[in-house]
Structure 1
Amino acid sequence: MARKDYSSYTARDFALDEDFQQWVLQPATRNVFWERWLEQHPEKENDVREARQLLQGISFTSFQLSSEQKDGLWEAICGGLEGEGPTPQEPTRTNWWQLWKYAAALLLGMLIAGGWYWWKAEPKNTILSSHTRLGEVKTFLLPDSSEVTLNANSRLLYASAGKQREVWIDGEAFFHVKHTASHQKFIVHTYDNVHVEVLGTQFNVNSTGKEVVVVLQQGKIQLNIEGRNTSLALQPGDIVRYNKQDGDFTKSSVNADQYVSWHTGRLVMEDYSLADAATFMQQVFGKTIIVPDTQLLKYKVSGSMPIIYNADTMLVQLEKVFRMKFNQKGDEVWIQKK
């Protein structure tokens, strides 16, 4: 079988290549081709190293479920549990965590021994999960070779079977969805009644805070709002903000880079206010920003800077950018004029 021309491959191209995946994820099966190819192409060492780190960063547990087990899992996640006390009128983050913990326990009980063999056989029902802590970001590949970057303090659950792939997200994630030969739909659910449906595209979903914010960078997506009988078609640069409390939503056009650049390690600031910085520090590092003079929250800057996933370093950078005095006391940061 003729080999591909790997000399022009980027790190992402390597990570998406099935032969490369098998070499990295099945080290027990020695692949002489890749060892010799690397000796002949030392200039690609950095790309190969980056691709290996991307694949080895996948820290999921694989599962194969029966239809009955899968239906039971979705019912637990999406519909809540019966027999655990009265159901409140509105969902809360605590309720979501209860469902998430139940789902994790259910998954563990359904575990079937096996490994990463999804590139070989017919597509199987698959359940995967991942999460990040405060100050942590993960980039990984799903079994369909779609790429996900999961922002700090976020949780993701993935399932694939038949004609569609589904993701449940609590927090923020950037998706680069791979189009499949069978035209499988890729659906992202939030626990706030917002669902995003795509075939192959790049977009960001953020369900932290009081809103669910969906931004499309490339391709097309269909956004459905449960209970409102509303379906919105988004074009690149469109943003939809959904209010969790009253169900209202707005759609407008923005510079998508400002909302998605975090997954490349940069903070793009376009009319970026101190209030925006406070939201960022709360979401990523769990820091509470206290500003006695609330007028300072309206102060805006423009530009960009690298995101360093260290709270102290980011506070120093933001202090310089906004030219204000930041005084950290535990998880609280007090801000005032210099």
Structure 2
Amino acid sequence: MARKDYLSYSARDFALDEDFQQWVLQPSTRNVFWEHWLQQHPEKENDIREAKQLLQGISFTSYQLSEGQKEELWAAISGGLEDEAPITATATRSHWRQLWKYAAVLLSGMLLAGGWSWWREDHTPAIVSAHTRLGETKTLLLPDSSEVTLNADSRLLYATSGKQREVWLDGEAFFHVKHTVSHQRFVVHTYDNINVEVLGTQFNVNSAGKEVVVVLQQGKIQLNIEGRNTSMALQPGEMVRYNKQDGDFTKSSVNASQYVSWHTGRLVMDDYSLADAAAFMQQVFGKTIIVPDTQLLKYKVSGSMPIIYNADTMLVQLEKVFRMKFNQKGDEVWIQKK
């Protein structure tokens, strides 16, 4: 089992971990590691319990729904999940929406390697989930002809029919939204209470780290924060950073190309710091970057370079750009002065 910083994991992180999934979903397989780890870290008991509930609760076959309830559920999903169907089943009504959100990311990894879909009895596709692995990107054409490019280790849930144009994102994606004659809105939901509403535009949403970062390249978008009476409009070249932990947010003007150029295969570096490079390698390739001399993280460069979706090649390129020594040990990369 690869070394992971499980002490920093939330319930959601545990639920998405393949080793943890195997331990929970295959109880006949005794896993000494997890039993020992729990004994050593009793403070994580609540997170473990919640993660188990999420995994054990996401099983469509366990919900005994009548034909009428199935139709109500389908209508709610086709309508964009804005109104929950009044489901009476094993899970409570309030818990169903939470389970559905986690199903989007969990089932994509557990059921099919390339994605999954839920079909009605008449074989009409309802909800589709697409995802990317570490070190890869994927471009999707949505039913309304809008185009989405997923960055590495990201997931997108969307409906293939219905009046609403809404998607759910976990990770990072660049959106090129098609404007409709009827001025129909397009909404991007993240699992961190951020909703981005547009008509037709180009923008980037990144929810992969400790913040949700929204950058507008072209057009106009409206950003709403669920649970708070807060909304703001963004103009081209503006960025909003939303802190997932404390809910604070900042708005600033930026070089949008630096944040959206990845979808064209280039890394634009405008005062690009070593800390930025470390975050990139962790998000795209799952590498843990260790810099003993933290002052090096402030070192900045400017320019551009192609993105090669091979971790070893990118490390060599970044080593040359920053003129530092990158020493890779498994999934860890140690950086120091040459």
Deviation at 1:82, TM superposition (A): 8.9
**What's the counterpart of residue 181 of structure 2?**
181
Q: What are the within-5 Å matches in structure 2 for residues 39-78 of structure 1?
A: 66-71=71-76, 74=81
Query: Is residue 207 of structure 1 aligned with residue 210 of structure 2?
Result: no
**What's the counterpart of residue 261 of structure 1?**
261
**What's the counterpart of residue 198 of structure 1?**
198
Q: Is the 8 A contact 2:188 2:195 kept in 1?
A: yes
Deviation at 1:180, TM superposition (A): 1.6
Deviation at 1:335, TM superposition (A): 0.6
Amino acid in the other structure paired with 1:301: V
Q: Is the 8 A contact 1:160 1:166 kept in 2?
A: no
Report how many aligned residue pairs link the two structures.
257
Deviation readout 1:160-219 (Å, 9 max, x if unpaired): 655420000000000000012232210000000000001100000000110000000000
Amino acid in the other structure paired with 2:157: L
Amino acid in the other structure paired with 2:303: G
SS in 2 for 1:280: helix
Deviation at 1:129, TM superposition (A): 1.8
**What's the counterpart of residue 5 of structure 2?**
none
Q: What are the within-5 Å matches in structure 2 for residues 271-310 of structure 1?
A: 271-310=271-310
Change (3 A) 1:241 1:131: same
The TM-score normalised by the length of structure 2 is 0.69
Deviation readout 1:129-179 (Å, 9 max, x if unpaired): 210000010112111110111000000011265542000000000000001
**What's the counterpart of residue 235 of structure 2?**
235
Deviation at 1:271, TM superposition (A): 0.8
Whole-angstrom distance in 2 between the partners of 1:231 and 1:311: 38
Query: Is residue 101 of structure 1 aligned with residue 106 of structure 2?
Result: yes
Deviation at 1:75, TM superposition (A): 8.0
Q: What are the within-5 Å matches in structure 2 for residues 153-192 of structure 1?
A: 153-159=153-159, 163-192=163-192
SS in 1 for 2:118: helix
Whole-angstrom distance in 1 between the partners of 2:120 and 2:293: 54
Whole-angstrom distance in 1 between the partners of 2:312 and 2:158: 33
Query: Is residue 113 of structure 1 aligned with residue 123 of structure 2?
Result: yes
Deviation at 1:238, TM superposition (A): 0.8
Q: What are the within-5 Å matches in structure 2 for residues 7-46 of structure 1?
A: none
Deviation at 1:313, TM superposition (A): 0.3
SS in 1 for 2:326: strand
RMSD: 3.1
The TM-score normalised by the length of structure 1 is 0.69
Amino acid in the other structure paired with 2:73: E
Deviation readout 1:66-123 (Å, 9 max, x if unpaired): 553242694899xxx99679x99xx9xx9964563369989536464368xxxxxxxx
Whole-angstrom distance in 1 between the partners of 2:106 and 2:121: 16
Whole-angstrom distance in 2 between the partners of 1:252 and 1:337: 32
Query: Is residue 219 of structure 1 aligned with residue 229 of structure 2?
Result: no
Change (3 A) 1:140 1:293: same
Unaligned runs of 5+ in 1: 1-64, 116-125
Amino acid in the other structure paired with 1:167: V
Q: Is the 8 A contact 1:163 1:185 kept in 2?
A: no
Whole-angstrom distance in 1 between the partners of 2:205 and 2:121: 29
Amino acid in the other structure paired with 2:225: I
Unaligned runs of 5+ in 2: 1-69
Whole-angstrom distance in 2 between the partners of 1:297 and 1:148: 32
Q: Is the 8 A contact 2:183 2:199 kept in 1?
A: yes
Matched residues, percent identical? 75
Change (3 A) 1:325 1:76: farther
Whole-angstrom distance in 1 between the partners of 2:100 and 2:161: 27
